[in-house]
Amino acid sequence: MASPQADGDNIRLATSQVNVRHSEEFPKDSDDASSHNSERPSNSKEGGSISRSPNSKASISKARPGFHRTETRPIIEDNDRNEIFRIATALSGRHFVSIAGEGPSRVHTLITHDEDSPALDPQSDEFSLEKWLQNFVKTLREQNITAKQTGVAFKDLNITGTGAAVQVQETVASILLAPLRPGEFFSFGKKEHKQILRNFNGLIKSGELLIVLGRPGSGCSTLLKSLCGELYGLSVDKKSLIHYDGIPQKLMKKEFKGEAIYNQEVDRHFPHLTVGQTLEFAASVRTPSQRINNMSRKDFVQYVAKVVMAAFGLSHTYNTKVGNDFIRGVSGGERKRVSLAEMVLSGSPFSAWDNSTRGLDSATALKFVSALRMAADIGGRANAVAIYQASQAIYDLFDKAIVLYEGRQIYFGPVEHAKDFFERQGWYCPPRQTTGDFLTSVTNPIERKARSGMENQVPRTPDEFEQYWRKSPEYCVLKQDIEAYEVEYMVERQGESIAQLREAKNRQQSKQARPKSPYTLSILMQVKLCTKRAYQRLWNDLSATGTQCFVLFVMALIIGSIFYGTPDATAGFYAKGSVLFMAVLLNALTAISEISGLYAQRPIVEKHASFAFYHPACEAAAGIVADIPIKFATASVFNIVLYFMAGLQRQPGNFFLYFLITYISMFIMSAVFRTMAAITKTVSQAMALSGVMVLALVVYVGFTITPPEMKDWFSWIRWINPIYYAFEILVANEFHGRQFICSSIIPPYTPLVGNSWICAATGAVAGQDYVSGDAFIAEQYEYYYSNVWRNFGILWAFLIGFMVIYFVAIELNSSTSSTAEALVFRRGGVPAHLRAGQKQSPNDEETPVDLTNKGSANGGNVKAIEPQKDIFTWRNVIYNIEIKKEQRRLLDRVSGWVKPGTLTALMGVSGAGKTTLLDVLAQRVSMGVITGDMLVNGKPFDASFQRKTGYVQQQGM
């Protein structure tokens, strides 16, 4: 294996020589030497210059497309020619990279623009994000508003995790046989620790962009999460060091949580909120108290949200629901842009983006990275971006690159030196391959190719790549940069970064917020905004509330009809007890459905909490407040119908007490089930725990087993059962102060003489033809009317107690992690090297897969796929849907065909309708009106078309 020292001693000299040659071949025109361009050598859209800094060699920025070229062909070598090709490719991206010893140096001139300029109006077609940022930052400085800035350095970073090596898809049979496989569910104290990242070092300064390259599973997501402190399920080695301009990560996550945030790969949003509502909420929770031009909070929120929507091309989706995999909304690419816009609105000085260009077309992806570039240049923001497929134009926008190979760091440094680094190792880069693809392909044994004569010298395994990197001069330069950075911020300016960031944060916080709180708003304002959002979600999904009311109305009719005409005599005692039992039970236990709802929104709430938008407890309180009118509506529909159909006591006082108790019982059990969801990690755990609890609550209410018949060893359950106290109040409310005529007498014959007869009912007195209601409930249930208001207070204690536990649990218990999507294997189809629960040894070179092998040792007799001869055509396909009583056309006269033996590519920007067209052609839409012709071999297809058509959706479901 070649040693990096052999080529690395003169690396800086060789770089400067290449730069000089480039400057000779691409001379700068005289009209490019304006003062404006000299101040912005790397961001101007025209012109270029050779710039020098006191501590760097000569560096080159690209010339404008109209350059003329001097004939210097005799002095161009092969390496220089490849470098020229790279620069020429980068010119199409219209951006400028400065190659210098200290890294890129981009300085923007903050030009004053006319406030009425269309370029500053987010609702104008001429809106320019670059000009708006320049004007915005200039206004901030003029009004003495400090923008937050920070960088991040990590040294000897080692990350380990625990868990199963593979994920297997569950089936009905596997679930039933789960008790026979205890080893899959219980570790018996022996958890396997997996090394995810090993000995990582890096430095991202304020205003720099880092591209993270590596194949899926190499540790890109773990690295980004570690840099932002998202360490759920991960363990950081005690010797590892992560700090932000001298601020330790522990302090950063405690006091400045929203200043280093992680954008997860999967898009999670409230599906029933519109795009405008989603982004305006994100803007409102991070709106500073010190705003430009003394704008009101409402105007600032709307203005900033419109700017971000215009920058990401979302203005036309303002009133469209975000949607998800099951609820129709914006397209997948537009949903990804909503996630990006939401994170931008957080205003974090350091952001980590995990595969954030997934689902975006190439133009939108380039626009997104260009926006990050401008934010870094103008606002000093630092960003780390993991991209699996980076075009050359995107790659050249970055300052630094890090390459990962199965948890090993094999390069970190300037993007312009990365290609040369791996070529010096001995790897061959095809002439038309982008640099990003080349760096990623080096980690793939199937794709990489060694240069001629270097086959036996290049590193092969991840360990060999890491050893080469740690012996290289680039690694030495990185270590020196990190040491200089630590000296500057942890020795010379110790405490200064904390004071500056704390001052900038406190200026943005509201007056009621705690100075050391990471949140911008006070708790009361957070609850207010979350409550507003909760009502927006309810208003946008009225059908769910309507369905719930309708179902409860039908249930009330059914139960009420069963007990309709119940007599006010002793024969109706059991019936009245039964209807009261059903009333309190159904009112209380319908809240069990809230568990699944809470788990559906839990990842969203935890994501917002990591952005320092609001406390999870504030969202919990807002959800309870928003439930007040919904529960009132459902309780009214159910209880009014049931109460009067079942013939309960028709007195105003009795009815309102009955309604009050059932209404409070709904909130108590809602708090109980919400607490179950908050203290558990998965929805299956919560449902299992709730099922056992419901069984105990139902049995020990006091009706199924009356208190006198309860055994001592379980009778205590009723004292911790809130339904027991509610049922006692309802029973006492119905029977108190009433006398019920005897329906049957013992002995059942006349004459009735003296006290020789008695009513055949519990609580009867010999010689009386009626039974007191108070006597009946005292003897039958051991209930007393004197306990009504005592029990009412106990119910309030239960309600407050469970709400407090719920708020604390949801604030402290983090159950979900911001993980990327993982590969799930079919049971019985796990690869051989993973069956033992361990990955293939990283020290062994991966064996390339023979993709041409048509046989299989264990394949058996495999039936060949029959050739397909059907031709599918569609003509003038139109698809209309109705949104808010307005017709919206999603497809307009689309025509095409699919011929057997060919591949048809469906092209278009995100939001163009590609997924919608596939849904329509595959007959997978459930709403709207479809017109047009869809034919198979010129004939309309039958009902079997769906079964014969394979359809792989965009979502991994």
- Give the contacts of 611 (CB within 8 A, at least 6 positions apart): 258, 261, 282, 343, 346, 348
Closest listed residue to residue 290, CA positions, set 147, 148, 137, 145: 145
At 671, give phi and psi (nearest 5°): -65, -35
What's the CA gap between 223 and 352, in Å, rounded? 9
DSSP calls for 480-522: HHHHHHHHIIIIITTTHHHHHHHHHHHHHS-TTS-TT-S-SS-
Phi, psi of 767 (to 5 degrees): 90, 0
* Pairwise CA distance, residues 419 & 437, whole Å: 10
Q: How much is the pLDDT for 289?
A: 87
Backbone angles phi, psi at 784, to 5 degrees: -140, 140
Q: What is the 3-state secondary structure (H, E, C) of 815-881?
A: CCCCCCCCCEECCCCCCHHHCCCCCCCCCCCCCCCCCCCCCCCCCCCCCCCCCCCCCEEEEEEEEEE
- Share in percent of the chain as helix, strand, coil (round to 5): 45, 15, 40
Closest CA to 303 of 115, 142, 146, 138: 115
* Structural tokens at position 482: 């990190």
In this structure, the number of other CB atoms found within 10 A of the CB of residue 602 comes to 21
Domain spanning 152-157+196-269+348-489: CATH 3.40.50.300? yes
Beta bridge partners of 159: 197, 236
Q: What is the pLDDT of residue 835?
A: 54
pLDDT for 497-517, tens place per residue?
A: 888 888 888 888 888 888 888
Spatial distance between the Cα atoms of 283 and 344, rounded to a whole number of angstroms: 9
- Phi, psi values for residue 940, rounded to 5°: -60, 140
Question: pLDDT at position 746, please?
Answer: 82
CA dihedral 679, 683, 689, 694 (to 10 degrees): 110
In the DSSP assignment, the letter for residue 787 is: G
Q: Where do the structural domains in the chain lie, given as residue ranges?
A: 5-101, 152-157+196-269+348-489, 524-736+793-812, 872-948
Kindly report, residue by residue over 759-796, the tens digit of the pLDDT.
888 888 887 888 888 898 898 888 999 999 999 999 99
Nearest to 487, CA basis, from 250, 246, 251, 247: 246
**Nearest Cα residue to 620 out of 805, 756, 492:** 805
Burial 688-722 (b: 16+ CB within 10 A, else e): ebbeeebeebbbbbbbeebbeebeeeeeeebeebb
CB 872 within 8 A of CB 927: no
In 676-806, the DSSP E strands lie at 739-741, 745-746, 758-759, 770-772
Instruction: Give me the DSSP letters along 98-119.
Output: ---TT------------TT-GG
In angstroms, the CA 790 to CA 785 distance is 10
One DSSP character per residue, 293-353 reads GG--HHHHHHHHHHHHHHHTT-GGGTTSB---SSS--S-HHHHHHHHHHHHHHTT-SEEEE
Distances (CA, A) of 316 to 321, 330, 646, 908, 955: 12, 10, 54, 17, 23
Tell me the two tokens of residue 141: 């400085």
Helices (H), 40-125: 78-91
Q: Would you state the structure tokens that stand for residue 733, as one six-digit string?
A: 């409310």
User: H-helix or E-strand containing 893?
Assistant: strand 886-898
What is d(CA 259, CA 256) in angstroms, rounded to the nearest whole number? Answer: 5
Compute the distance between CA of residue 216 and CA of residue 758 in angstroms, rounded to an integer: 83
Rounded to whole angstroms, the Cα distance separating 150 from 349 reads 6
DSSP-derived pairing of the beta strands 929-936 and 247-248: unpaired
**Quick one: tokens of 235?**
């363990």
User: Tokens 């080692």 map to which residue?
Assistant: 158
Give the closest residue to 682 by CA, choosing from 762, 599, 764.
Answer: 599
**Residues 223 and 200: beta-carbon distance below 8 Å:** yes
State residue 415's pLDDT score: 94
Check: CB of residue 904 under 8 Å from CB of residue 895.
Answer: no
d(CA 123, CA 504): 30
Rounded-to-integer distance, Cα 498 and Cα 543, Å: 50
Residue ranges of the chain with pLDDT lower than 50? Answer: 1-76, 85, 88-110, 818-820, 836-860
Check if the beta carbon of residue 102 is closer than 8 Å to that of residue 56.
yes
Task: Round to whole Å and give the CA distance between 519 and 489.
Answer: 25
Secondary structure of residue 927 in the 3-state scheme: coil
Bridge partners for 881 per DSSP: 888
Q: Which pairs count as long-range contacts for 566-571, CB under 8 Å and 24+ apart, including other chains?
A: 566/646, 566/647, 567/743, 568/647, 568/738, 568/740, 568/741, 569/740, 569/741, 569/742, 569/743, 570/740, 570/741, 570/742, 570/743, 570/744, 570/759, 570/760, 570/761, 570/764, 570/771, 571/743, 571/744
CB count, 10 Å around CB of 353?
24
How far is Cα 572 from Cα 569, in angstroms, rounded to an integer? 6
Which is it for strands 193-204 and 50-51: parallel, antiparallel or unpaired? unpaired
Using DSSP bridges, classify how beta strands 350-354 and 382-386 pair: parallel, antiparallel or unpaired.
parallel
Closest CA to 383 of 133, 229, 210: 210
- Residues in the chain, how many? 957
The string of DSSP letters for 252-293 reads: HHHH-GGGEEEE-SS----TTSBHHHHHHHHHHHT--SS-GG
Reference 254, options 637, 18, 561, 519; nearest CA is 519
- Tracing tokens 């809602």 back to the chain, one arrives at 670
What CA–CA distance (Å, rounded) separates 788 from 785? 5
Q: What is the pLDDT of residue 769?
A: 80
